[in-house]
């Protein structure tokens, strides 16, 4: 077997093991959450017999290891379970499958992440490359100061500043991104501008600084000095010699930030009341809808692991020297 293929397979198996370990953490964390769904539905006046019967109906009377194994088996078979929402003490069951509840919300989150990514990735690469090209110039200092300021602010603060400036003072962009499946495409884009811009400002700073640092680090290499001695221009040195060897760290930081666009949107979605999977998870925690919380957390974990696995594989393929560490 080719050494690169063997290393890639090793990384994939490691990712699967990590996801299994994360699923155990998710299940254990939910077990320690205060409160109980049955008590929340039945109220404090419910008798112990009623609570016990309701817990048995939901399957919450089983030991935690048994419930964990049942959950893992269901997920492996493609069944994320049934939501507790819609169940009540009178026996009426209007619950829906977790997959049916998550699917439209997940597409909304992916749409928002795509809007941010198509702007953030090219912009961050452009700023990082040009800042490295004009290192220590006024342009470089202004870009660094701006990005450092942006990355220092938490997401909710950036969101509220944008709402103040672009929804109240200067422009009239909607501060509430209330979209639905029937919302036309361009109206959806218009309503998603502020949350997408918030996420863009947060991740551009990180990706730009990492791109700049990776290229500057390579500019001190002997082969770069040789290219300069041959009279190659600055732009050609960076684009033809430094940039191809900087793809590994750049791909890693892009993957990390793409994972943030899907995983870290919870705060942004809550601020803008955006109907994505992050908002769904917050609502599920409030209502103690255990199957829905488990599914959302597992999707977040799987997304993060897969994107980092892709970045790791790209780093291996683009830099085979990683296969033979000194």
- 131 contacts: CB under 8 Å, gap ≥ 6: 139, 140, 143, 144, 208, 212
Rounded average pLDDT over 35-62:
69
> Residue 240 gets which letter from DSSP?
I
- 142 contacts: CB under 8 Å, gap ≥ 6: none
Rounded average pLDDT over 169-174:
78
Q: How confident is the model at residue 94 (pLDDT cuts 50, 70, 90)?
A: very low
Calpha distance 286→277 (Å, rounded): 14
Rounded average pLDDT over 86-95:
50
Q: How confident is the model at residue 45 (pLDDT cuts 50, 70, 90)?
A: low
Which residue in 115, 109, 70 sits closest to 299, CA to CA? 109
Instruction: Say whether pLDDT at 186 is over 60.
Output: yes
Q: What is the pLDDT of residue 55?
A: 72
Q: Quick check: helix, strand or coil at residue 33? A: coil
Q: What is the pLDDT of residue 234?
A: 72
Rounded average pLDDT over 30-50:
68
Its pTM stands at 0.78
Rounded average pLDDT over 53-62:
72
Instruction: Say whether pLDDT at 216 is over 70.
Output: yes
- 50 contacts: CB under 8 Å, gap ≥ 6: 42, 89
Report the percentage of the chain scoring pLDDT > 70. Answer: 87
Query: In this predicted model, what pLDDT tens digit does every residue of 104-162 receive, in sequence order?
Result: 888 888 888 888 888 888 888 888 888 887 888 898 889 888 888 887 888 788 888 88
Range of lowest pLDDT (75-84, 191-200, 301-310): 75-84
Q: What is the pLDDT of residue 40?
A: 64
Instruction: Say whether pLDDT at 193 is over 60.
Output: yes
In the block, which residue shows the tokens 């551009």? 204
Q: Are 98 and 80 in contact (CB under 8 A)?
A: yes
Q: How confident is the model at residue 2 (pLDDT cuts 50, 70, 90)?
A: low
Which residue in 292, 265, 267, 272 sits closest to 281, CA to CA? 292
Round the average pLDDT of the chain to a whole number and report it. 79
Q: How confident is the model at residue 92 (pLDDT cuts 50, 70, 90)?
A: very low
As its CATH architecture, domain 102-318 has: Orthogonal Bundle (1.10)
Q: What is the pLDDT of residue 91?
A: 46
Query: In this predicted model, what pLDDT tens digit does every residue of 250-305 receive, in sequence order?
Result: 777 787 778 777 777 788 888 888 888 888 888 888 777 788 888 888 888 888 88
Instruction: Say whether pLDDT at 99 is over 60.
Output: yes
Q: How confident is the model at residue 324 (pLDDT cuts 50, 70, 90)?
A: low
90 compared with 40, residue with greater pLDDT: 40
Rounded average pLDDT over 32-59:
69
Calpha distance 99→111 (Å, rounded): 18
- 299 contacts: CB under 8 Å, gap ≥ 6: 102, 106, 277
Instruction: Say whether pLDDT at 199 is over 80.
Output: yes
């Amino acid at each position: 077997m080719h050494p690169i293929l063997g290393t890639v397979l090793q990384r994939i198996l490691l990712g699967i093991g990590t996801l299994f370990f994360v699923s155990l953490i998710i299940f254990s964390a939910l077990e320690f959450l205060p409160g109980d769904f049955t008590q929340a539905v039945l109220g404090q006046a419910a008798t112990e017999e009623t609570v016990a019967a309701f817990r048995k109906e939901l399957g919450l009377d089983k030991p935690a290891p048994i419930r964990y194994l049942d959950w893992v088996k269901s997920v492996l078979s493609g069944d994320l379970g049934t939501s507790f929402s819609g169940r009540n003490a009178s026996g009426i069951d209007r619950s829906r499958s977790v997959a049916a509840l998550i699917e439209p919300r997940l597409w909304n989150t992916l749409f928002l992440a795509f809007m941010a990514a198509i702007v953030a990735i090219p912009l961050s690469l452009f700023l990082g490359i040009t800042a490295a090209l004009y290192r220590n110039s006024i342009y470089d200092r202004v870009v660094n100061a701006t990005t450092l300021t942006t990355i220092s602010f938490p997401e909710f603060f950036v969101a509220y500043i944008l709402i103040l400036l672009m929804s109240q003072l200067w422009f009239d962009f909607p501060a509430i991104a209330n979209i639905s499946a029937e919302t036309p495409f361009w109206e959806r884009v218009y309503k998603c501008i502020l949350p997408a811009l918030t996420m863009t400002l947060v991740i551009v700073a990180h990706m730009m600084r990492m791109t700049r640092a990776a290229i500057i680090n390579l500019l001190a290499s002997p082969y770069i000095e040789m290219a300069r001695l041959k009279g190659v221009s600055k732009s050609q040195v960076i684009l033809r010699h430094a940039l191809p060897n900087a793809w590994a760290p750049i791909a890693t930081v892009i993957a990390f930030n793409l994972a943030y666009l899907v995983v870290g949107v919870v705060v942004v979605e809550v601020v803008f009341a955006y109907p994505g999977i992050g908002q769904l998870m917050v609502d599920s925690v409030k209502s103690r809808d255990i199957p829905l919380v488990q599914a959302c957390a597992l999707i977040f974990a799987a997304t993060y692991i897969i994107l980092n696995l892709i970045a790791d594989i790209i780093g291996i393929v683009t830099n085979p020297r990683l296969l033979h560490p000194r």
